[in-house]
């Protein structure tokens, strides 16, 4: 993976520790994920531009009107829950019996 995916030279690969290789692979994965997100957003934008001339006069179509991606949806934060609500969710998730 180091010499293939990361395109490291053999010298650079063998001089790295497992931790450094792991961090480099994580950074590479994040970079690929960001590139893929940008491609999806570009495709969504292009779709909205293609549909725009076919709408009724005065109507605007925003790219987010076509689709909302999972990374754009707001995340629910467990810190906003009360302690009882959090315990109830954990019990339900783990299928605990009271």
Q: What is the mean pLDDT of residues 1-24?
A: 91
pLDDT at 96 over 90: no
* Mean pLDDT, rounded, of the chain: 88
pLDDT at 6 over 60: yes
pLDDT at 10 over 70: yes
Cα separation, 64 vs 66, whole angstroms: 5
Our separate counts of H helices and E strands in the chain read 4, 0
Residue 34 tokens, joined: 């960001």
Q: What is the pLDDT of residue 77?
A: 62
Coil, helix or strand at residue 11: helix
| Backbone region of residue 60 per phi and psi (left: phi > 0; alpha: psi in -120 to 50; beta: other values) | beta
More confident residue, 85 or 24: 24
Contact 84, 66 (CB under 8 A): no
pLDDT at 47 over 80: yes
Q: What is the pLDDT of residue 3?
A: 86
Contact 55, 61 (CB under 8 A): yes
Q: What is the pLDDT of residue 44?
A: 95
Instruction: Give the position of tokens 């792991």.
Output: 22
């Amino acid at each position: 993976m180091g010499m293939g995916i990361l395109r490291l030279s053999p010298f650079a690969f063998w001089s790295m520790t497992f931790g450094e290789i792991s961090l480099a692979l994580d950074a590479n994965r994040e970079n690929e994920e960001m590139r893929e997100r940008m491609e999806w957003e570009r495709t969504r934008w292009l779709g909205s531009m293609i549909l725009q001339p076919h709408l009724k006069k005065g109507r605007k179509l925003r790219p987010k009107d076509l689709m909302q991606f999972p990374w754009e949806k707001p995340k629910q934060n467990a810190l906003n829950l009360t302690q009882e609500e959090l315990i109830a969710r954990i019990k339900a998730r783990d299928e605990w019996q009271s």
